[in-house]
Amino acid sequence: MLAVLGLLVMIFIIRLLTMRFAPTVLGTIIRSEAIKGKTVQDSDKALGTAVGVGLAYLLVGIMIDDMERVGSPVLMPDLAVSFLPGILQFVVAIAVVVWAFRLVNIVHDVVMMFDTDDQLDGTEKTLISALQSVLRFAIIFVGAVFVADSMGFDLTSLIAGLGISGLALALAAKDSISNFFGAITVLLDRPFKVGDWIIVGAAEGEVIEINLRTTLIRTSADTIITMPNANLVNTPVENVGKRRWRRWQTQLHLDINADGEAVDTFCERVLKAIEDHPKTLKEEASFCQVSMISATSLDVDLNLYWDVSGGVEERQERAKLIIQIKNIAEDLGIEFYDGRVRQQR
């Protein structure tokens, strides 16, 4: 009885010491203030319990082994020999599971450490959720094995039964599992992120959400396509949002009566405006030149490349350039051909 009382006192003291010094020790290893201030502090009680009861479990095992020695001073009732190690192992398993569960929050802090804008987008939130789900499942599985061992179950039969049951569940839920691992592949490889415009087979639109089973795509008609993540792994994905540049081609129809030299000057000034524009690139591949003549108009082909981050910025810069082209034409006395005006005249 004195030994049991001593074990309880030892567990209490070691638990307090672990709760006192564990955050300091872990703090020297972990540099993130967010992780040290929240995740480590929240898990110190469970860690202290696991360490204290774990040492008690080892000492009880040593005492039980010593009882078999002739002349051993250790006397312990058979009931205690049968149940005390299992109880201590059960408490250790539960404490470790609780401690590990609280450490799962470290995933969020680690992702925040590598995030440049200090704001989590939909892709990063989904990555955190997926990793935390996998970690929790692994913790529960391993913890259940240790708890079952502490309760005296045959681990060989238990693991074999879990293997058969897991195989049956895997066959029954193979589509869900494929979608889950598809989500993990998408989140790790990052072929696209929330906000990108992608084309997957016949589906085209903006990625608005990436979940563990499906990815939601908003089309240009404002409808939502629910795309299983397994399809994103097995089907080529064209990411329009990762274009290094955006090409713009159009044709200008000038009045057939425009002066030839004025048209040449017009093309030169438009090309110079394209080259001097702060949001264009690939000047050597840009051009503005007459391509065709008809009975009513001179057709000028225009080709340039935008260096913009998205469609909104492209439309804004294109509108500015169009106004600039119109001003150049007016300055040179060149009119644009309009078939509707000709018919009215």
Q: Are residues 227 and 273 in the same domain?
A: no
Alpha-carbon distance 238 to 124, whole Å?
Answer: 21
Q: Are residues 14 and 126 in the same domain?
A: yes
Q: Are residues 146 and 98 in the same domain?
A: yes
> Does residue 336 sit within a domain?
yes
Spatial contact of 277 and 321, defined as CB atoms under 8 Å apart: yes
Residues facing residue 207 across a β-bridge = 217
CATH number for the domain spanning 303: value is: 3.30.70.100
Q: Are residues 235 and 306 in the same domain?
A: no
Count of alpha carbons within 13 angstroms of residue 19, beta-carbon side: 12
**Residue 149 has what pLDDT?**
73
Q: Tokens 């001073």 appear where?
A: 73
Q: Are residues 143 and 86 in the same domain?
A: yes
**Residue 330 has what pLDDT?**
94
**Residue 90 has what pLDDT?**
83
CATH number for the domain spanning 224: value is: 2.30.30.60
Q: Which residues constitute the domain of residue 226?
A: 178-241
- How many domains would you assign to the chain? 3
pLDDT in tens, the chain (345 residues): 677 677 777 777 877 777 666 666 666 655 555 555 555 555 667 777 777 888 887 877 777 787 777 677 777 777 777 777 788 888 888 888 887 877 777 776 666 666 666 666 666 666 776 777 778 878 887 888 777 777 776 656 656 666 655 655 555 556 666 777 777 777 777 788 777 888 988 888 888 887 777 888 999 888 999 988 888 877 888 888 777 788 899 999 999 989 999 999 999 999 999 999 999 988 889 999 999 998 889 999 999 998 887 778 888 999 999 999 999 999 999 999 876 554 444
> Does residue 172 sit within a domain?
no
**Residue 317 has what pLDDT?**
92
Q: What is the pTM of this model?
A: 0.48
